[in-house]
Structure 1
Amino acid sequence: MNDHTNQEAQHGEKPVKRREMSRRQFLSYTLGGAGAFMGAGMIIPMIRFAVDPVLKPKTQAAWVKVVEESKITDEPKSFKFKVHQVDGWYESDPELEAWISKGKDGKIFALNPTCKHLGCTVNWNANPEYKDQYFCPCHGAHYTSDGKNLAVAPAPLDQYELKIENGFVYLGQLGPNKRV
């Protein structure tokens, strides 16, 4: 035995083996890391572009002037109005509809005519079988004048927030029916 192995045997230690990286491994790691960095640099803006509108907080609907207060009666009437909306990067001015009337308590309220069953449009007194009720022609759902669901539909008609200012009725955010 030589002196070196003798010394190892005496001290009980193994020599430290150094693993060296080959040139091929170094180039693979370097090119892989640079490629991943450049790929992330291209993908992160694309992900941000797609996700950014979803992360923005929703704004409350603006108040929209719909009709003069003097034109509102106990009988529900349909009124159409336009709202400005922004969906992501698409801006539009769709025409919406509301059934506005005075309740038994004398307060004015506005209902959305979208049936809660499958989304068809309901009409007031549209079916002679259901006098003084909203009726959905698609599947026979019907509602009271306050929007309470009587058959087929699982929930009452939605209600618009409403305010009266300077003799005009303004509609705001659409929400659940608070009358029933």
Structure 2
Amino acid sequence: MTEEKKDAHHSGKKPSRREMSRRQFLSYTLGGTGAFMMGVPILYNLRFAVDPLLQKKEGGNWVKAIEADKVTVEPQSVKFKVHVVDGWYENDSDLEAWIAKDENGKIFALSPICKHLGCTVNWNSSEQFPNEYFCPCHGAHYTKDGKQLAVASAPLDEYSIKVENGWVYVSDLQPNTRV
């Protein structure tokens, strides 16, 4: 026998065992059950919230905008609809692009959204800045290629385009590659 057991045996004390009280048992059991019951719904709701981020992103959706032979050197406003899926919300949004040909005959499309504060720019709408995109909100203006000349900190964004079967198709916005 070990020294402790001999002392306990000779002194008449029972050796102490570490036992869990009923109160501790109930606390552990109820705490574990409560954590499980809260954890399962949280995990499912987290999956629900994160699911749109986990979906495989498709390539750009091409939208028919204008007939290629109607595009001129002078920029023209073209309106089109895009089907937008934002999480579980789907709708058709009306968008606009300024479509023109450059001096080499290459077609390009620019966003009409001013890079200063998001107002809509118009082509050749200011007597002070002829043959430029002009923002009436704060006086920003841009070249035909979308290069910022005053106020705005960046050039106009550019739409991805393709010409197919006599039509110009537009897709996602990207930073301007022309300037």
Tell me the TM-score normalised to structure 1 length. Answer: 0.89
Q: How many residues align?
A: 172
Q: CA deviation at 1:111?
A: 0.3
- Asked whether the 8 Å contact 2:133–2:146 carries over to 1, the reply is yes
Superposed CA deviations along residues 17-57 of structure 1, whole A, max 9, x for unmatched, are 53211011001101110111011122211121122113334
Whichever residue aligns with residue 28 of structure 2, its letter is Y
Q: CA deviation at 1:142?
A: 0.3
Q: CA deviation at 1:4?
A: 2.6
Tell me the TM-score normalised to structure 2 length. Answer: 0.90
Whichever residue aligns with residue 133 of structure 1, its letter is E
- Asked whether the 8 Å contact 2:8–2:15 carries over to 1, the reply is no
Q: Give the corresponding residue for 1:5.
A: 7
Q: Give the corresponding residue for 2:67.
A: 68
Q: Structure 2: any 5+ residue segments left out of the alignment? A: none
1:103 and 1:17 mapped to 2: Cα distance?
93
Q: Give the corresponding residue for 2:156.
A: 157
Q: Which structure 2 residues correspond to residues 40-59 of structure 1 after superposition, within 5 A?
A: 40-59=39-58
Q: Secondary structure at the match of 2:127?
A: coil
2:70 and 2:173 mapped to 1: Cα distance?
22
Q: Secondary structure at the match of 2:31?
A: helix
Whichever residue aligns with residue 170 of structure 1, its letter is Y
Q: Give the corresponding residue for 1:98.
A: 97
2:160 and 2:36 mapped to 1: Cα distance?
51
Please report the RMSD computed on the Cα atoms of aligned residues, expressed in angstroms.
2.0
Whichever residue aligns with residue 103 of structure 1, its letter is D
- Asked whether the 8 Å contact 1:60–1:173 carries over to 2, the reply is no
Q: Structure 1: any 5+ residue segments left out of the alignment? A: 9-14
Q: CA deviation at 1:16?
A: 7.5
Q: CA deviation at 1:6?
A: 9.9
Q: Which structure 2 residues correspond to residues 1-180 of structure 1 after superposition, within 5 A?
A: 4-5=6-7, 17-180=16-179
Moved over 6 A (4+): none
Q: Percent identity?
A: 63
Q: CA deviation at 1:7?
A: 9.6
Whichever residue aligns with residue 135 of structure 2, its letter is C
- Worse-matched range after superposition: 55-64 or 107-116: 55-64
